Every structure is written in structure tokens, then in C-alpha cells.
Structure 1
């Protein structure tokens, strides 16, 4: 299905997976309201979290149903499928989701499940050990992703842009096809914290633009 364009003649029913503060989720939901860039295109139908977190409070204030699934999530994803049966999402957006998504869910939503990542990804460029040569993988998320970019630049002795990424979700962390990117310049003296602060609004804008493309059928 990843080779087919998604085109639905109604607002796309979106499930948003979170694990923390839910800032990207909040940006998406706000953009879907009247006069927002996603109004009439994206309908957030449920926010799913794998832990009690600030994002759940935000979702409820925004009027979006919010559900907590107990960790560890079962390998067959039955907890998630029970939620899908109630809310019938068309697309899943993982925005700060830290759990490993069950393969059964990935297969069910093949070509329709995406993950937000705050650093450059290049899953097709692999080293001799077969691992991708990029700033992703298990445990590389949030500030750790920014720290890995900055440390690599320090070791290399030169500065280059970082970027926000959106990729398809596969069985391995951060190894799916990258479907959207947006660069940000590194400033001398940047820390993982300062880079994260500057990157976050770029991630939000990228997510909103990408979801518009999904609705318009521009995503293969």
C-alpha cells in the first residue's frame, strides 16, 4: 500500500500516538479547528498514550478523546485494535510515541502510519554491520537525537544543518522510508536543549504541511 496515494473524499480520521507533553498533537488539533490549515482535511478522532502524561490533559481540553494503553503493549496489539474498532482511524501519526508499535498494527495500517523524528534519517545508507548511518534507532529520541547530531559535528570538526523528519513506521525503529524533511541551521554554541527548542516549531509546521499532503493525495 505504500506505493498507493491516499485520497479520501472527507476529513481523514487521525489517531495520534503520544507519550509525553503532546506539543505536536496540540499543534495538529489546533490546526484542524475552524480557520486552521487542516480544517476540513484532518479530523483527530483519538489520542492514544502509553503512559499517563501531560499530553492527555491537553487532548481532553481540546475536546479530543484520550485513551491510555497499559505497557507493555501486547505483541498482537489487541489493546490498540480495541480502540481502533471504536474510533475507526484512517491514518496514524506517532508524535513523541516511545513504545514499539506492534507489527500487527503496522501491517494493518501499511502506508498509513507515520512517525515524527527530530533529527536526520537515512535508512538506506548502511554501514558494514547493516545498521543505518543516521541519527535514529532505539533510544535515540528527543534531546538524545539532538545531542547525537551535535556530538557527531564536534567529532567531525564542522557544522552542518540538522533536520526534522517524518518516516513510515516499520518493524525497526526509525528505519522506514523518509517522506518529509525540513532543515534547520546549527548555531555555534547550540546545545541539545537549545536545538530542541528551535526545532520544535519546525517539527509542528512540517507535520501540518505533511498531513495536508496526505489529504490531498500527494503522499505515495
Structure 2
């Protein structure tokens, strides 16, 4: 089966661990995708240097000084680089209306816990794992969802359970979830590329 590669743009505020795994999978032929652009709101983000070393464009677009201008530039740059699908990889800023409108149904985020119970504003990183353990649930998970104007409220695309084990601490649960995220992102994107997951019901992509 011939699969048209996904033309991907990435947003990362730090290392962009999942973005790295996705790019490497594309380079290795395990994922039908073309990395087109890496953007960070942090000038020193290691994700930017990774993208440059991998041979595709990387930009810093700060958001604090003028969020509206940053939103406009981000939408413009993603379009100019031929990006079809935006992948968030630890991007810790809310997206603006221009990006959300232009890429409606075509922005993906990965969340390290079940949604909507363990999502929302301020729920990221270890805070999610602390909340999962405090709730006493038997199972955490990884959720890939579409991004809209509300934190962690966009339609769910794929989910994978991660059991809570006896004696788990926030650190140990975080380690297991974090270790599983990159491969799950790659697998989900390949399913999108192959048409097994259709984003068309949520947006105007495939």
C-alpha cells in the first residue's frame, strides 16, 4: 500500500522527546511522515537544536511579549513550510485563534493521564501523576487528542492504558508513562497516515 507521508510541524517547549521519536521513525522508514518545521517558544529549547541537526527548519517564536503577533506568525510559518498536521510535544503555551482556526482538526497533543478527569489548565507533567495516585484509580493512561481552545478538551483520537502498580510514586508512574509515549505517538501517526484513524470527522484532514 502506497501511503502519502504526513507533512508535520512540531511545537515543543523543551526537549521534544516525542517529536524526536517521530522524526527518527520517519527517517528510519517506520513512519510515513516528513518533518517540515520545529517551533519553540523558548530560544534555548533543545528541540530546536535537534531539528537543525536533523536537517529541517527550526524557529523560536516567543509568545509572552505579544501573544497575538506570535499566533499570527506561527500560523504563517506553519503554512509557509507546507505543514498539514501540527504535533505538540511538551508545548506549554496555549495556542491562539489564528493557528486553531487555520489548523482546526489538525493539531495533536499527547497527555500523560486519562481525560477529562486528569486534564485541564495546569495539569501537565508530574502534577498529572500526583493527581492520578491521589485519586486512587487502578489505571492511568496516555491520550492523544485534537487540540482546541480549551486545555485537554479536544476530541480523543487514541488512548493506551498504563496500570498503576502497588507502591507507585509520582516519579515511578511518570517514568513508565513517559517511556511509553513516543512509540504510541509514532504508532498513532502511522495509523493516521494509513487512514485507519480519520481526522476528517473532526477536521478537514484525510
Instruction: Please classify the TM superposition score into its range, dividing by the shorter chain length.
Output: 0.7 to 0.9
1:69 deviates by 0.5
Contact residue 120 and residue 151 of structure 2 kept, 8 A: yes
Aligned residues: 194
Match of 1:66 in 2: 58
Where structure 1 has 5 or more consecutive residues not aligned to the other structure, the ranges are 1-7, 123-133, 154-158
Q: Cα deviation per residue 1:103-153 (whole Å; 9 max; x = unaligned)?
A: 22112111211111111003xxxxxxxxxxx10011101111111111111
- Which shows bigger deviation, 91-100 or 197-206? 197-206
Kept in 2: contact 1:161–1:185 (CA 8 A) = yes
* Greater relative CO (CA pairs within 8 A, separation 6+): 1
* Match among 37, 40, 46 for residue 49 of structure 1: 40
The alpha-carbon deviation at position 57 of structure 1 amounts to 2.1
Gaps of at least 5 residues in structure 2 are 199-206
The structural deviation recorded for 1:9 is 5.9
2:13 aligned residue: 19
1:106 equivalent in alignment to 2:100: yes
2:180 corresponding residue in structure 1: 202
Which TM-score applies when normalising by structure 2?
0.88
CA contact (8 A) 1:14 1:93 kept: yes
| Partner residue in 2 for 1:146 | 129
**Partners of 1:165 and 1:107 in 2: how far apart?**
22
In 2, Cα distance between equivalents of 1:136 and 1:96: 14
* C-alpha displacement of 1:86: 2.6
- What per-residue deviation string (whole Å, max 9, x for no partner) do you get for residues 41-86 of structure 1? 1111111111131222222222232111012263362120231243
Contact 2:68–2:96 (CA<8 Å) still a contact in 1? yes
Runs of 4+ in 1 over 4 A off after TM superposition: none
Alignment partner of 1:33: what SS? helix
Structure 2: how far apart are the matches of 1:112 and 1:218? 16
Q: 1:37 aligns with which of 30, 37, 40?
A: 30
Separation of aligned partners in 1, 2:179 and 2:25: 13
Higher mean C-alpha displacement, 74-83 vs 203-212: 74-83
The answer on 1:119 being equivalent to 2:105 is: no
Instruction: Give the match for residue 184 of structure 1.
Output: 162
TM-score scaled to structure 1, two decimals? 0.83
Contact 1:182 1:202 in 2 (8 A): no
d(CA) in 1 for partners of 2:158, 2:111: 10
Contact 1:118 1:164 in 2 (8 A): yes
Instruction: Report the alpha carbon displacement of residue 90 of structure 1 after superposing the two structures with TM.
Output: 0.5
